[in-house]
Amino acid sequence: MSDTYAVIGNPVSHTKSPLIHGLFAEATRQALRYTAIEGPREPAEAFAATVREFMAAGGKGMNITAPFKLAAFDMADERSERATLAGAANAFRFEGGRILAENFDGIGLLRDIEVNLHAPLAGKRVLLLGAGGAARGALLPFLGACPAELVIANRHVDKAQRLASQVAAQGPVLACAYGELERLGRFDLVVNATSASLTGDLPPVPPGVFSPQGTAYELAYGKRLTPFLRLARNAGVAGVADGVGMLVEQAAEAFAWWRGVRPQTQGVIDRLTVPLD
């Protein structure tokens, strides 16, 4: 009998997760069934009820996507350090009626950058745009990769400062407003962790932050050359990438957490990649 997993979100019709996990299961010869569940936005208790209904029916685990990552964190019985720092969960595992929560977004992002894009962070200057859940999930993995400096830029600098203070013991991190970036020079890696590209907007980042020999990374995926990536390309950056690799790598981490085997990812990334130009 196949074990059952699911992704829950709203909307969820666009999700690639059933395809990704289906390919993982086929490649690793794992017997599982993976479905998509459109969760209720209101009231908040309805999300938790939907999760518990899935558990009661024998579900083994879930991926969580927008807008439920905060609610997922709140309802968990046990949370990893990564999930705790992010204040959000993107994966559940069900054990004996208990809900274990993880957040693989940051580690998936780091693996895509360092392994797939061949851009190790050690000794490099890193700029993270935004101080929301996506940025929070990236902090511990990024600092664990030993950059020379990690700068968090945000419209509301106090939010970025609070975030930096939470991880100050983990490595060289500082916070600033966008208006301060001009004086900070070039960065080897610039990651857009804001939601600006989802609406076709551009975070107020000066082109001088990009190093032509560096990498510009957009967390959104499937949107081709976003305003952020176009700014980087126009600034001479050859290494531009969107978040499809992160999507697949975080899925592989969840799959390994559930099944005890980590699938190969490159073939799946190739299958899902949309040319940026």
**Binding-site annotation: residue ranges:** 15-17, 65, 81, 90, 105, 130-134, 219, 221, 243, 250
Q: 226 by DSSP, 3-state: which? A: coil
Tell me the H-state helices in the chain. 17-28, 44-56, 69-75, 81-86, 105-111, 133-144, 157-166, 227-234, 244-259, 266-272
Told to judge if 69 belongs to the known catalytic residues of this protein, a careful annotator would answer yes
Q: Please report, in range form, the residues annotated as the binding site for shikimate.
A: 15-17, 65, 90, 105, 221, 250
Candidate list 69, 124, 159, 223, residue with the active-site label:
69
Contact 268, 20 (CB under 8 A): yes
Residue list for the binding site for NADP(+)? 81, 130-134, 219, 243
Mode of pairing for the β-strands spanning 91-95 and 61-64: antiparallel
- Which residues face 231 on adjacent strands? none
* Contact in structure between 91 and 64 (CB atoms under 8 Å): yes
Residues ≥6 apart with Cβ < 8 Å to 68 = 8, 9, 10, 39, 47
Which DSSP string corresponds to 95-132?
A: ETTEEEEE--HHHHHHHIIIIIS----TT-EEEEE--S
Q: How many CB atoms lie within 10 A of CB 179?
A: 12
Residues with a catalytic annotation lie at 69
